[in-house]
Chains A and B, each alone.
Chain A
Amino acid sequence: MTSKIKRGVSLYSFQEELFLRQLSVEECVAFAASIGAKGIEVLPEQNMPSFPELGSDDVAWWREMLARHDAHFTCYDMFLDTKVRKDREMSDEEQVASIRRDLELANRLGIRNMRVLVFVRPDILERCVPDAERLDVHMGVEVHAPWHLEHAWILRTIEVADRLGTRHLGILPDMGIFMKHYPPEFRDRFLRQGARPEVAQFIIDSHEQKIMAEYTIYEVAVKMGGNKAEVAMAETLRHAPYANPKRIGDYAPYFRHIQAKFYGMTEDCRDPSIAYDEVIPELVRAGWEGTLSSEYEGNRWIQDAGPVDSREQVRRQHVMFERLIAEAEASH
């Protein structure tokens, strides 16, 4: 069976080189297309300097640039600055207006998926559904660690989508929720910051055994007299869940796009941390149709130690995707 999984890249993956002006957005798109990842996820607040006043010339530039590389947009990553003012939070009306602005920009850019930050309230999104339907943009609430597919907060959005019977509200999983093993990039940075190797190993072993984070934090901070780096490392366990990949099929109808988070690939193109080898077979089994969009986030863990090569990391992840998709299709 040939699956309907498509491959893409979020420009988030190249944040190191984009920030330092070592790559232009067009160079990132050209690279993604060259490895067959033609679906481009964009963060307008990162990649479009004129945001939020996007002119028709800006829109035309993006469309033509993508066409030059035989690429296309997949997803628009929105933000909601509820704390734009120091003296008060945004009112509900202001939040709805901000989301409507993003839905309209997404529509003008020809983008049909919008990544909604996980903290956005379901009742606010409910008020935005008529606009999302009118503009034909799917609002997917980002299921980001430490939330997971069956977290009660996420289920509230699904409940709203079911009640309204809409195809324009759902979720958008970030694969960081499937962190089966502790990332070596995290460990190495805490070692550079002064964590003792035996304490770091204790934390890794605790994660491997899926011990609840609070037990390990107490062990490290109190019983082991952990230093600052060790306590900080233990605290990362709060945000390092391994959700059950077997539940993917139950939720597949609610998502059309995936943020394929990763922190670093080995030279032989394996992810030592996130369980893509379990996730991709479930996506294939579910007959899921959508884009696996690379989200490389390793730069912030290694940039203190040396140069970052986001393109090589993304390339390796796509070698892995091709292998895992082919294997899953063959055995399905």
Chain B
Amino acid sequence: MFEKYLIVEDSLRNVAGGFEFQARLGYYRGLGLSMVEDLAVAINGAAVPREAIRFNEGKGPLRLAEMETAYDRRWGFGEPATISVDWPEPLAAGAHRLALTERLRVSYMPFPSIRQSETEVCIAG
């Protein structure tokens, strides 16, 4: 569901200490952050360690471990959030393969809902 739209087009950029991009929740409603069980990122085929990822829907960055108990915050329907990745060097100008997997704990489903997206994104030179 909405896999095609998880990664916001043209949103990848270098920042101090790594890179970041914008992402949407692959679901037809908003969801409390504690139910986003995992956000897995891979860049050019290299998986990013979970500890290196931060999420920010607008109320301040959270490590994924902190997100698990963020009971009073929600990722709104269709709302882009910022996903930041600690990365040793800036990404080179040009095309990169960016992959995002969202694992959601949806209460009425017997199993986790997994949404995967992989796309080619460019960083301006």
Contact = CB atoms under 8 A, between A and B. Distances in A.
Kindly state the interface size class of chain A when it binds its partner.
Answer: 20 to 34
A19 B108 contact: no
A49 interface: yes
Interface in B7-33: 24, 28-30, 32
A118 B108 CA distance: 8
A83 B107 contact: yes
Given A20-B78, A46-B30, A83-B105, 20 more contacts: A18-B77, A19-B77, A19-B78, A43-B29, A45-B30, A46-B77, A49-B76, A49-B79, A51-B74, A79-B107, A80-B108, A81-B35, A81-B107, A83-B106, A84-B107, A86-B34, A86-B68, A300-B1, A304-B3, A304-B4
A46 B32 contact: no
A19 B107 contact: no
Main secondary structure of the interface of A (DSSP, over half): loop
Interface of B: 1-5, 24, 28-30, 32, 34-35, 37, 68, 71, 74, 76-79, 105-108
A15 interface: yes
Given A46-B30, A80-B107, A19 B24 contact: yes
A117 B108 CA distance: 8
Interface of A: 12, 15, 18-21, 43, 45-47, 49, 51, 79-86, 117-119, 300, 303-304
A82 B105 CA distance: 10
Contacts of A19: 2, 5, 24, 28, 77-78
